[in-house]
Structure 1
Amino acid sequence: MTESQINPTVPPSGTGCVECEETGSWWVHLRRCAVCGHIGCCDSSLNKHATAHFHSSGHRYVQSFEPGEDWFWDYVTEETFTGPPLAPPTSRPDDQPSPGPRGRVPARWRELLAAGGAAG
């Protein structure tokens, strides 16, 4: 792991997945790019925006952006690791549900994920 590629001073891009917020979609869990702060949805989400960010940017390190979690993931080695503390906030707000955000998660979200269906 190359800590020089991690920027512990950059704040997160927001409290939810950047692309899901732009499109009105929803997510299961959130991941924070440890290089630039981009918040994307995890691979359990329909849109997998965190992994898409890795592929488009080459930023290989993310940290969980879920309350109580501080693990990092390296997309290249596909391994978890312990990294430096990142600038706050270090997770989505405690009152924001998972999946989230409140009001946009369809009642059939589990069925949609199982089927790989539409985000709406």
Structure 2
Amino acid sequence: MTDTDAIDPSVPPSGTGCVECDTVGGWWFHLRRCATCGHIGCCDSSPAQHASAHYKTTGHAFIRSFEPGEEWFWDFSADELYESGPELAPPVAHPEDQPVPGPAGRVPEDWARSLHR
């Protein structure tokens, strides 16, 4: 990683789901965590793509997967993947009983048709 000053390992995640999707009753495919401020947003395969929208709005370039068992980081500004990085404040993933896609009860039956590829 090149600009790790942009990462604040002490900031906890904003919640267990995408902040914006939760506000409007939407759903997501996978979740991403801003490594600067802790914002949880949905991935670019999700219908609303809130994690990358957060980057475009704030300039916070580093995200980490918020999926159980995944430790990778992504740098939007360099368009680069990092297999690991600094340990972030817990929790490091959404609850394991939260379904993917999620959250339970808000995912349409034909959800795969709504994914961005």
Farther off after superposition, 78-87 or 16-25: 78-87
Tell me, what secondary structure is at the counterpart of 2:115? helix
Separation (CA, whole Å) in 1 of partners of 2:77 and 2:114: 29
> Measured at CA, do residues 111 and 10 of structure 1 come closer, stay the same or move farther in structure 2, by a change above 3 Å?
same
Divergent runs of 4+, >4 A? none
Tell me, what secondary structure is at the counterpart of 2:20? helix
Is the Cα–Cα contact under 8 Å of residues 46 and 114 in structure 2 kept in the other structure? no
Give the TM-score, by structure 2 length. Answer: 0.95
| Per-residue deviation, 1:113 | 2.5
Give the TM-score, by structure 1 length. Answer: 0.93
Alignment root-mean-square deviation, CA: 1.2
AA of the residue aligned to 2:33: R
Specify every segment of 5 or more residues in structure 2 that has no aligned partner in the other structure, as ranges: none
The corresponding residue for 1:60 is 61
Specify every segment of 5 or more residues in structure 1 that has no aligned partner in the other structure, as ranges: none
Separation (CA, whole Å) in 1 of partners of 2:42 and 2:64: 12
**How many residues are aligned here?**
115
Separation (CA, whole Å) in 1 of partners of 2:97 and 2:107: 15
AA of the residue aligned to 2:43: C
